[in-house]
């Protein structure tokens, strides 16, 4: 199989899967190295394919969120409240797709999260605690956005209300 045909098939696999596909799984399927797949995905992205890389693998965001309500939450809190914030979102039916901050030098910075359940929250918090890296929200005094995927708008509004009651939302007034 030539490289162009392999990339076409990789794109088809990623587009059709509702869950993330790892580079290792794709490498095994096409009998190439993981690094070849990473390069193929980079070329697919450069050609306009909407592929995001999460810690769980590659996914097409439009496919993963078909029929779901997507909303943005403006939050402000300190690092110790991160776990409570994320638990609230997933416990009430949301999925945390990303975190976004507005940086003075670079402008908008986005970190892909893909947090769907308490286990994902726990793993994220464990990695953050073990890492010498800062959370993106620490760069902006705790101010950040989350893109949240929900079954419907009512679920999103419930999440927003719960976070507001906990004092974790950026005040609107």
105 and 32 share a domain? no
Structure confidence at residue 40 (pLDDT): 93
Domain-embedded: residue 155: yes
Q: Which of 58-72, 92-106, 110-124, 140-154 has the lowest mean pLDDT?
A: 58-72
Radius of gyration, CA atoms only, the chain: 18
| Nearest residue to 117 via CA among 99, 97, 94 | 94
Domain-embedded: residue 172: no
Do 139 and 103 meet the contact criterion of CB atoms below 8 Å apart?
A: yes
Range of the domain at 74: 66-165
Residues constituting the chain: 173
Q: Which domain-ending residue is among 41, 63, 85?
A: 63
33 and 70 share a domain? no
Mean pLDDT score, 97-108 = 88
What is the CATH number for 119? 3.30.1340.20
E strand or H helix that includes residue 107? strand 107-115
Mean pLDDT score, 77-89 = 92
CA distance 173 to 157: 18
pLDDT tens for each residue of 4-61: 999 999 999 998 887 789 999 999 999 999 999 999 999 998 888 888 887 778 888 7
Domain-embedded: residue 173: no
What is the CATH number for 8? 1.10.10.10
For the question of whether the overall pTM of this predicted structure is more than 0.85, the answer is no
Question: Which of the 8 DSSP states describes residue 20?
Answer: -
Structure confidence at residue 173 (pLDDT): 61
**Phi, psi angle pair for 164, to nearest 5°:** -65, -45
> What average pLDDT is seen over the chain?
89
The percentage of residues in the chain with a pLDDT greater than 70, rounded to a whole number, is 96
Structure confidence at residue 66 (pLDDT): 59
Q: For residue 63, is pLDDT > 60?
A: no
Q: Label residue 158 by pLDDT band (50, 70, 90).
A: very high
């Amino acid at each position: 199989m030539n490289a162009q045909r392999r990339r076409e098939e990789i794109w088809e696999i990623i587009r059709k899967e509702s869950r993330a596909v790892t580079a290792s799984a794709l490498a095994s399927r096409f009998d190439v190295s993981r690094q070849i797949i990473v390069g193929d995905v980079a070329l697919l992205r450069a050609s306009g394919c909407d592929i995001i890389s999460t810690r769980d693998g590659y996914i097409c965001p439009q496919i993963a969120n078909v029929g779901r309500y997507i909303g943005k939450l403006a939050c402000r809190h300190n690092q110790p409240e991160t776990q409570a914030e994320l638990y609230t979102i997933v416990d009430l039916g949301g999925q945390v797709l990303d975190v976004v901050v507005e940086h003075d030098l670079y402008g908008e910075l986005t970190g892909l999260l893909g947090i769907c359940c308490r286990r994902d929250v726990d793993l994220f918090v464990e990695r953050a605690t073990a890492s010498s890296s800062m959370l993106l929200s620490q760069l902006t005094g705790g101010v950040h956005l989350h893109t949240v995927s929900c079954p419907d708008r009512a679920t999103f509004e419930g999440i927003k209300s719960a976070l507001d009651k906990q004092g974790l939302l950026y005040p609107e007034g």
